[in-house]
Structure 1
Amino acid sequence: MKFTLSWLKDHLDTDASVEDIARTLNAIGLEVEGIEDRAAALATFRIARVIEATQHPNADRLRQLRVDIGDGVERSVVCGAPNARTGLIGVAALPGEFVPGTGVTLKVGEIRGVKSEAMMLSAREMGLGDDHSGIVDLPADAPVGASYVKWAGLDDPIIEISVTPNRGDALSVRGVARDLAAAGIGTLKPWSAPKVAATYDTPLTWTIEEPRACLWVLGRAVRGVKNGPSPKWLQDRLTAIGLRPISALVDITNYFTFDLGRPLHVFDVTKVKGTTLAMRMARDGETLHALNGKEYALTAEDGIIADEAGPEALGGVMGGEPSGCDENTTECFIECALFDPVRVALSGRRHDLRSDARSRFERGLDPAFLPDALEAATRMIIELCGGEASSVSEAGAEPAWQRSATLRFERIAGLGGLQLAENEIVDRLTRLGFATESREADRVTVAVPSWRNDIASDLSAYRAGGGALTQFDGLDPARAAKAAEGCAAVEPEADLVEEVLRLGGLDAVPPVSLPVAAVIPAASFTPKQVRAALARRVLAARGMQEAVTFAFMEAKTAALFGPAAERQTPWSPPDALHLVNPIAADLDQMRPTPVASLLLAAARNAARGFGDVSLHELGASYRDVMPEGQLAVAAGVRHGATPRHWAEASRGVDAMDAKGDAIAVLAALGVPMAALQVTMDAPGYYHPGRSGVVRQGPKTVLATFGEIHPTVLAALDLPGPAVAFEVFLDAIPEPKRRKKSAPDLPAFQPLRRDFAFIVDESIAAETLLRAARGADKALIADAALFDVYRGKGVPDGSKSLAIQVTIQPREATLTDAQIEAVADRIVAAVTKATGAALRA
C-alpha cells in the first residue's frame, strides 16, 4: 500500500514529520517498507530559461545556448536536444551537482571549442521517466530560478506500508489516517458524501440472479460526461504510487480504490447490451475479455457481471474490455458492489488474476459504506467530467454486519503482559471507532465499527441473508462445513486485546520468557528423527549419494510399482492418490514407493552417459490418504557396475548389494540381527527369485531388497541390472530402555568351527543358520554363512552351504570332548531342521 504525505494529510490534520509518522506506523502494526523522497536527488536543480539558442559553430547537431537560472548570471551551455530553442523554460544543473539519470557529477567543460557551464536536463536524466527525446519543456509561467522539485510537487515523500491479510481497512489512505489519529498523530478530518440530486431515470438496472455472485449492489449513470485526461493533481497522485493515468473516469475509480478503499467500476452505457446488468455465476463455455487484454475461460464457480451478450466483468476482480469507458464515452454507469471475499479470492487465484480490487475485496470491505461511496464518486465524476446524474439502481440488501465484542480488562495483562488502567483500555477502543455498549466492573462490551470486519469476524455476514457458510469452492461438503464452523467461532476478545496493545505501540509490550516446562530440557529430536538421521549417515558412508525427488509421478509409472508380488494382474493406483491439480501433467499421482523416483533419476543419468549410480533417499511412500498410509522409507538404488577400484575387478550390481545396504541400516538402528529372517515374497517390481523381504517375526516387515524386474526396467528405459532396497523406518520397534550394565567381556578366547552341509536347493540359508544358533544357546555366540557351492560332488537339486560357528566359553576353557559334543549338537540340530547331511 503506497500513498504520499500530502495525500495522507487530506484525511489527517497533523504537523508530524514523515519520520514520526513512519515510527508510529511501525509501532501500531502497519509496517513501513520504505519511504521514497524523490526530492533528495533533485533538490539543487533550478528552473532555467533559454535566453538565446544558436547553432554551434563547429558541430551540426549541437546548439549553443545562453541560459538564465535567475541569479543574474548568464551561462553558456552546449546542448544536443532537438527541442532546444530561444525562450524555452527547462531545468538546469550546475557544475558540482550529481545527475541521477547518468550517474555523473557535472563539471565545467569545453565541447568543440565552446565552453559549457551547465546542463539542460531531460526527464530520464533526472530519473523521472524514460523520455530522452529532448530537454524538459515547462510551461511559460514556470518561475525561473525556483527549485524545480518544489514547483513540480516532487517534495512529497511516498510512504509504502505492508498490510496484513486481516486489515482490509488499512488498504486505504483514510484507514491509515484513522489509525494514526487514534495513536495520537494528528486529528482525523471529517468526511461526508452529500447526495447528488438525480435529474433522470437510470438507463440500466441491477438484478441479482444468484446470491452467491453478489450480496448487494448499487449503481447510477452520469450522462453528458467528457472523458478526457484527468487533472494534474490526480495524475500526480496515481503516478506517485505506481499507477498509470488512463482517463478521468478510470482514474477516478482507481483514486477511490486507494483513497477510501472502495473499488468501483464504470461501464460505458452505450456498450452495454440491454437495459439490465445481472449478478450471476458464469456458465459453461463463457469467456471474459478482461481490461488487461487477456481472455479468461470462466467456470461455474466464478461470480460475474453480465449483460444480454454475456460476461462483462469478473466480480470483485477485473472488468471487461467490451463495455469499458474510453475517450468517446458520453454516459457512464457506476458499479458499487459487495462481493463474497472467499469467492473473489478463489476466482482470482483460479485465473491467476491480481488486481487492486481483488486485494481489497478478498480481505473484506466496509459493508455499510456503499451508498456514501456511490455519492462521492458521482460528485467527483461530475466535477471533473461534467454531466448530470441519474437515479440509483439497487439490488440485494445491506447484510447484517452489526456485532458486539466483550473484553475482560484482566485479559490485557493476561494475554499481553501489559498493565493498563481500565479507563485507558476503553479510551483506546473508543479512539479506534468502537462504541461502548455496556460497561461492568471487570469488562466492557463494544459495538464493532463496520469497517473492521476482522474483529469478531464471521464470514457468514457476507453471505446472502446472513446465513451460515455452506460452500467453499473446491472443498467437499464435510470440509466446507468444518471451515464454516471455524469462521463462525473466531474469538473476538483476543482481537480487542490486540487492538488495545498495538495502539499504545507494539514496542511497549514487555517481553516475557516462556515458562520452563522442565529443569532438564526435552530431547531436541524425536526417536523417529534420530532414526532418519542415522539411516542417512549409514547410507552415505556406504558410498550412496542422497537424492531429493518429487513425491509424485505419472500415473502409468506408478502403476508399475504395485504392492502385489505377482505381476500377472495389472495394478491401478488408488484414485484417492490422484492429484486433481498437479503442477505438471506427468506428475499427477502420489508415488507408491521412493524406489520409483530413484529409478527415474537413475534412468535420466544413464541417458546422459552416467550409468553407474548409487542413490538413496529418505522419503515417503503413499498407500492411501490417511496418515497411517504415508510410510517413512529409507530407500536406495544401485545401477550399473560397482565402483572401480584398483584392487577389485568391476562387476555388475546384484541383489546381495541391496541386501547389504538394508541390513547395514537395520543394524545401525539397533535391530537384533539374530531375530531377522528373509522370505521370498517381495513386491512385484522386484525380480522373483532375486529378491527378498526382511522380517522380524512372521508379520513385521522391516525391509525389502532385490533386483528390479526386467519389465519395470524396460518400461523406464533403464538398461539393467539395477537393484534396490526399502527400509520401513516406522516399522522398526523402539529399543527398550534398559539400565546400563557392565559390558559382557568373557575371560576365555572364542573358538570357531566350520561346517559344510549338503541341503536341498529349496532350503534357505537362514533356516540352516537359525538351527545352528539354537543348538546350544549358552555356548554358541554366532553362526554366519561364508560359502555356497553347486557342482562336482554335490547332487543335482542340492547345494552346499558352508557356515562358521563361533563358540564362546564362559566358565572354563573347553576340552576337546566338550567341543566335539557342541559340534555334534550343531549337526543334529541342522539335520533335524533342514534334512541336511554333513558334507564329507
Structure 2
Amino acid sequence: MKFTLSWLRDHLDTDADLAAIVDRLTAIGLEVESVENPADRLAPFIVAEVLSAAPHPQADKLQVLSVDDGSGAPVQVVCGAPNARAGLKGVFGAPGAYVPGSDITLKVAAIRGVESRGMMCSVRELELGDDHDGIIELPADAPVGANYAAWAGLDDPVIDVSVTPNRQDAMGVHGIARDLAAAGLGTLKPVAVPDIAGTFPCPIEIRTDDPEGCPAFYGRVVRGVGNGASPAWLQRRLKAVGQRPISALVDMTNYIMLSYGRPLHVYDLAKLDGALVARRARDGEEVLALNGKSYRLDPSITVIADDAAVHDIGGIMGGEHSGVSETTTDIVIECAYFTPERIALTGQKLGLASDARSRFERGVDPAFLDAGLALATQMAIDLAGGEPSQIVRAGEPPLRPRSIAYDPARCEKLAGVAVSEDRQQQILQRLGFTVTRDSPWQVAVPSWRRDVDGAADIVEEVIRIEGLDRIPSTPLPRAAGVARPTATPMQKIERKVRRAAAARGLDEAVTWSFIAEDEAALFGGAPWSLANPISEDLKAMRPSLLPGLLGAARRNLARGAPSVRLFEIGRRYCADGERLTLGLVLAGARPRDWRGGGGAFDAFDAKAEAQALLAAAGAPDSLQILGEAPAGVYHPGRSGRFALGPKAVLAEFGALHPRLARAFDLDNAVAAEIFLDAIPARRASGHMRSAYAPPALQGVTRDFAFLVPADTRAGDLLRAVRGADKAAIVDARLFDVFTGQNVPEGQKSLAVEIALQPAEKSFTDEELKAISDRIVAAAAKLGATLRA
C-alpha cells in the first residue's frame, strides 16, 4: 500500500515528521518497506527559460538554444525537441546531473560540432510519465532558477507499507491514519461525506440476482458530464503511488479506492443495454477486461452484466467495451459489496490480480457503501460536472453487529504487559471500537474490522498500539537437574544423514513442498492438492522430492555451474500421509580434482551415494538390490532399489527416465530417494556402546571367482557367501565382473574377496579349507561353481 506524506496529512492532523511516522508505522504492525522522495533524484533540475532558438548549422532536426537558468549567464544547449522555442519555460539539467529516465549523467559535449552544456528535459526523461514528444512546458509564471521539484510540489515522500491479509482497514490512507492517531501521532480527521440529493429518478434498473456473491449493489446515474484529463494534483498523487492517470472519472475511482479502501466502477450509460445486474456468469460467457485479455467464465463467478453481455468481473476488473471515454456524457457509478471468499476463488481461477481484488478479498467495509457512493458522486461532479440521479440500493450489505465480552485483565495474562483499563479503553475507542465497561466489558467491533473475532484479538489491538517492544522476554521454565534429550529417534536419523550428505560433498537445498500439477503428474500424480494455492504453479503437494531438486539443478546448470550435487531432506506427500525422505540429484560433470574426475554421472554414482547415506541412517547390512526402480521416473536398465525384501523398499536410485530428463531439460542427470521412515528402528541398548578395540589377531582374505548364470544378481551371491560362516566371515566384496573368453555362453564370472577374522586363535590350514568349502557350498545353492 503506497501513499504520499501529504496524502496522509489530508486524513491525519499531525505535526510529526517523516521519521517519526515511519518508525511508528512499523511499531504498530504496518511494516514500512520503503520511503522514496521523488525530489531527491530531481534535486539537480531547475526551472529555466529559453531565450533564443536557432537552427543547428550541421543538423536540420536540432536547434541551438540559449537558456537562462538563473545563474546570470546564458547557457548554450543543443536540443532536438520539436517544441523548443524562444520564451518557453522548461526543466533544465546542468552538466553533472543524473537523468533517471535515460540513465545518463550529463556532461559538456559537442553535438555535431556545437558545444552543449546541459539538457532541457522531457517528462519521460525525468520519469514523471511516458510523454517524450517534446520537452516539458511550464507556465509563464514559473520562477527561473527555482528548484523544479520543490516548485512543482514533487517534494512529497512516498511511503510503501506491507499490509498483512487480515488488515483490510489498512488498504486505504484513512485507515492507516486511524492507526497512527490511535498510537498518539495526531488526530484523525473525520470523513466529510456530502449529502447529494438526486434531481431525477435513476433511468436504469440496478439489481442483484446473486445475493451470495454480491449481497449489496448500489448505483446512480450522473448525466451531462465532460470527461477530460484529471487536474494536475490528482495526476501527481496517482503517479507517485504507481497509478497511471487515464481520465478524470477513472482517476476519481482510483483516488477514492486508495484513500478509503473502497473500490468503485464507472460505466458509460450509452454503452449499456437494459438493466445493470449482478448475477452468476453462464457457462461459456466471455469478457474482454480492461487489461486487454479475454476471460472465459463459469457459474462460480459473479459478474456485472446488462441484457446483452457481461461488462465486469465483479469486484476484480471492469470490461473494455463499457468503460468511460472522452466522449462519455452520462455515467453509472457502481458501489457494491462482494463476498470476500468468492472474490478470492474467482481471482485464483482466472489468474487475475487487481487493486480491487486485493481489497474485496480481504473484506471492504460493508457500512461504507452510501458514503463511498456519495464521495464518488461529489468528486465526479467536481471534476466533470453533471447532474446526479436518485440512488438505487439493491440488496443489503452484511451489517451484523458484533460485540465481544472482554476482561481487561486478559491483556497482561496473554501478552505479559500491564495496561491500565483507562488506557485500554482509550486505545480501543481511537481505533473505532465502542466500549461499554460492564463486567465483563462489552466491546463492539467496527464494521471495517472483519478480522477481530475474539478477546485475544482485542488484546492484540491494545498491545500493538501500546508497543510490541514492551512485551518482556520471558524464558520458558526449566526443570531442575540435567536436561533430558528432546530429539526423537527420527530427528536423530535426520541429523546423521544431513551431516553425512554434506560430508560427501552434497549441497543442501530447500525447495517448495508445493509444485505444479503437471510436474506432479510426471511422478504419478499428487494425492493431495491445495484448495487455496498461492498460484497455479504451487497447487499440488509434492509426491516426490525430485521435482524441486531437478528444477534447482536446471537453474544452476543454466547459470554456468559445471557440476551440481544437491540433496534435500523433507516430506513427500502420499495417499496415506507424509513420509520423511532424502532426495538427491547429481547433474552435469563429475568434479575434477587431483585424482581425476570429469565425465557424466551415471547410475552407479547415485547408487554409491544412496548406499553410503543408508549406512549413515543405520540401515541393516543385509540390504538387497532389487531390479529396476519405478518406470517413468528412472531409466529402464539403469536403476535399482535397496530393500529388505520385496515390499520393504528403503531407497530408489538410477538415471532419469528420458521423458523426465526432457521435461526438466537435463542431460546425464541421476537421482535417488531414500525413504527414511522405512528404515527399521534399532533397538535401544540402554547403555553407551563399548570402546573400539582392534582385533588381537591378524585377519585373512581369500578370493573366489564363481561362474554364475548371467541373470544372477551379485548382491544375492554376496549375501549367500556371508552367511556361510557368520562367526568367521566379517565382509564380502565384489571386485570383478567378467564375460568373454573362457566363460561359457549365458554365464558370467563374479570375483569376490572374503575377509576372515579369527577370534581366539589363528586359523589353521584345515580350518581355512573348511570355511572355503562352506563358502563354495553356499554359492552352489545359487547355481554358482568355482571358475577353473
Q: CA deviation at 1:839?
A: 8.6
Q: Does residue 733 of structure 1 match 2:680?
A: yes
Return the letter of the residue paired with 1:701.
Answer: V
SS at match of 1:368: helix
Show structure 1 runs of 5+ residues with no match.
Answer: 457-491, 562-572, 606-611
Q: Within 1, Cα distance between the matches of 2:95 and 2:653? A: 80
Return the letter of the residue paired with 1:36.
Answer: E
Question: Alpha carbons of 1:350 and 1:101: their partners in 2 closer, same or farther (altered >3 Å)?
Answer: closer
Q: Within 1, Cα distance between the matches of 2:340 and 2:596? A: 71
Matched-pair contact (CA < 8 Å) for 1:208–1:279 = yes
* Matches for 1:402-551 after TM superposition, within 5 Å: 402-440=401-439, 444-456=441-453, 492-513=454-475, 519=483, 522=486, 526-530=491-495, 532-533=497-498, 536=501
Question: Alpha carbons of 1:75 and 1:395: their partners in 2 closer, same or farther (altered >3 Å)?
Answer: same
Matched-pair contact (CA < 8 Å) for 1:535–1:634 = no
Q: Within 2, Cα distance between the matches of 1:557 and 1:152? A: 56
Q: CA deviation at 1:165?
A: 1.8
Q: CA deviation at 1:450?
A: 1.0
Question: Alpha carbons of 1:660 and 1:389: their partners in 2 closer, same or farther (altered >3 Å)?
Answer: closer
Return the letter of the residue paired with 2:458.
Answer: L
Q: CA deviation at 1:511?
A: 4.1
Matched-pair contact (CA < 8 Å) for 1:574–1:624 = no
Matched-pair contact (CA < 8 Å) for 1:46–1:145 = yes
Deviations 1:85-117 (A, max 9, x none): 55545556789988877866899x999999999
Question: Alpha carbons of 1:85 and 1:201: their partners in 2 closer, same or farther (altered >3 Å)?
Answer: same
Return the letter of the residue paired with 1:747.
Answer: A
* Candidates 613, 620, 625, aligned match of 2:575: 625
Q: Does residue 76 of structure 1 match 2:74?
A: yes
Match of residue 159 from structure 1: 159
* Candidates 735, 738, 748, aligned match of 2:697: 748
Matched-pair contact (CA < 8 Å) for 2:406–2:441 = yes
Percentage of matched positions with identical amino acids: 47
Return the letter of the residue paired with 1:316.
Answer: G
Matched-pair contact (CA < 8 Å) for 2:288–2:320 = yes
* Candidates 642, 649, 668, aligned match of 1:701: 649
Q: Within 2, Cα distance between the matches of 1:693 and 1:66? A: 81
* Matches for 1:33-44 after TM superposition, within 5 Å: 33-40=33-40
Q: CA deviation at 1:820?
A: 5.9
SS at match of 1:15: coil
Q: Within 1, Cα distance between the matches of 2:125 and 2:660? A: 64
Q: Does residue 260 of structure 1 match 2:260?
A: yes
- Count of residues paired in the alignment: 769
Q: Within 2, Cα distance between the matches of 1:804 and 1:188? A: 87
Matched-pair contact (CA < 8 Å) for 1:548–1:617 = no
Question: Alpha carbons of 1:528 and 1:209: their partners in 2 closer, same or farther (altered >3 Å)?
Answer: farther
Q: CA deviation at 1:644?
A: 14
Match of residue 397 from structure 1: 396
Question: Alpha carbons of 1:439 and 1:6: their partners in 2 closer, same or farther (altered >3 Å)?
Answer: same
Return the letter of the residue paired with 1:627.
Answer: G
Question: Alpha carbons of 1:48 and 1:371: their partners in 2 closer, same or farther (altered >3 Å)?
Answer: same
Show structure 2 runs of 5+ residues with no match.
Answer: none
Q: Within 2, Cα distance between the matches of 1:556 and 1:96? A: 53
Match of residue 374 from structure 1: 373
Deviations 1:653-696 (A, max 9, x none): 999888766655544444443x3456669767899999876543
Matched-pair contact (CA < 8 Å) for 1:579–1:588 = yes
Deviations 1:347-393 (A, max 9, x none): 22333333221221121111111112212222222233222221211
Return the letter of the residue paired with 1:28.
Answer: I
SS at match of 2:263: coil
Q: Within 2, Cα distance between the matches of 1:117 and 1:819? A: 100
Q: Within 2, Cα distance between the matches of 1:761 and 1:44? A: 84
Q: CA deviation at 1:754?
A: 6.3
* Matches for 1:77-116 after TM superposition, within 5 Å: 77-80=75-78, 83=83, 85=85, 87-90=87-90
Q: Within 2, Cα distance between the matches of 1:31 and 1:688? A: 54
Q: Within 2, Cα distance between the matches of 1:546 and 1:181? A: 46
Q: Within 2, Cα distance between the matches of 1:817 and 1:779? A: 14
Match of residue 384 from structure 1: 383
* Matches for 1:131-150 after TM superposition, within 5 Å: 131=131, 135-142=135-142, 148-150=148-150
Return the letter of the residue paired with 1:450.
Answer: S
Match of residue 21 from structure 1: 21
Q: CA deviation at 1:429?
A: 1.1
Return the letter of the residue paired with 1:453.
Answer: R
Q: Within 2, Cα distance between the matches of 1:124 and 1:651? A: 53
Question: Alpha carbons of 1:117 and 1:672: their partners in 2 closer, same or farther (altered >3 Å)?
Answer: closer
Q: Within 1, Cα distance between the matches of 2:173 and 2:336? A: 20
Question: Alpha carbons of 1:651 and 1:301: their partners in 2 closer, same or farther (altered >3 Å)?
Answer: closer
Matched-pair contact (CA < 8 Å) for 1:634–1:727 = yes
Matched-pair contact (CA < 8 Å) for 2:517–2:526 = no
Q: What is the TM-score normalised by the length of structure 1?
A: 0.74
Match of residue 472 from structure 1: none
Return the letter of the residue paired with 2:410.
Answer: R
Match of residue 175 from structure 2: 175
Q: Within 1, Cα distance between the matches of 2:660 and 2:327? A: 68
**RMSD, aligned α-carbons:** 5.7
Matched-pair contact (CA < 8 Å) for 1:772–1:829 = yes
SS at match of 1:279: strand
Question: Alpha carbons of 1:511 and 1:58: their partners in 2 closer, same or farther (altered >3 Å)?
Answer: same
Q: CA deviation at 1:431?
A: 1.4
Matched-pair contact (CA < 8 Å) for 1:367–1:401 = no
Q: CA deviation at 1:283?
A: 1.4
Matched-pair contact (CA < 8 Å) for 1:402–1:448 = yes
Question: Alpha carbons of 1:775 and 1:24: their partners in 2 closer, same or farther (altered >3 Å)?
Answer: closer
Deviations 1:89-148 (A, max 9, x none): 5556789988877866899x9999999999866556666456565554333444567665
Q: Within 2, Cα distance between the matches of 1:131 and 1:242? A: 16
Q: Within 2, Cα distance between the matches of 1:305 and 1:157? A: 38
Match of residue 346 from structure 2: 347
Q: Within 1, Cα distance between the matches of 2:660 and 2:711? A: 28
Question: Alpha carbons of 1:428 and 1:722: their partners in 2 closer, same or farther (altered >3 Å)?
Answer: closer
Q: What is the TM-score normalised by the length of structure 2?
A: 0.78
Matched-pair contact (CA < 8 Å) for 1:615–1:637 = yes
Q: Within 1, Cα distance between the matches of 2:146 and 2:596? A: 87
Deviations 1:31-52 (A, max 9, x none): 23333333456568665666x6
Q: Within 1, Cα distance between the matches of 2:547 and 2:65? A: 78
Question: Alpha carbons of 1:381 and 1:624: their partners in 2 closer, same or farther (altered >3 Å)?
Answer: same
Return the letter of the residue paired with 1:632.
Answer: T
Q: Within 1, Cα distance between the matches of 2:137 and 2:32? A: 36
Matched-pair contact (CA < 8 Å) for 1:595–1:637 = no
**Higher Cα radius of gyration:** 1
Matched-pair contact (CA < 8 Å) for 2:235–2:245 = yes
Return the letter of the residue paired with 1:493.
Answer: A
Q: Within 2, Cα distance between the matches of 1:41 and 1:657? A: 56
Farther off after superposition, 548-557 or 530-539 = 548-557
* Matches for 1:753-764 after TM superposition, within 5 Å: none
Return the letter of the residue paired with 2:690.
Answer: S
Q: Within 2, Cα distance between the matches of 1:386 and 1:627? A: 64
Deviations 1:729-781 (A, max 9, x none): 33222334442214354433344566788889998777776666556554454
Q: CA deviation at 1:183?
A: 1.7
Matched-pair contact (CA < 8 Å) for 1:786–1:804 = yes
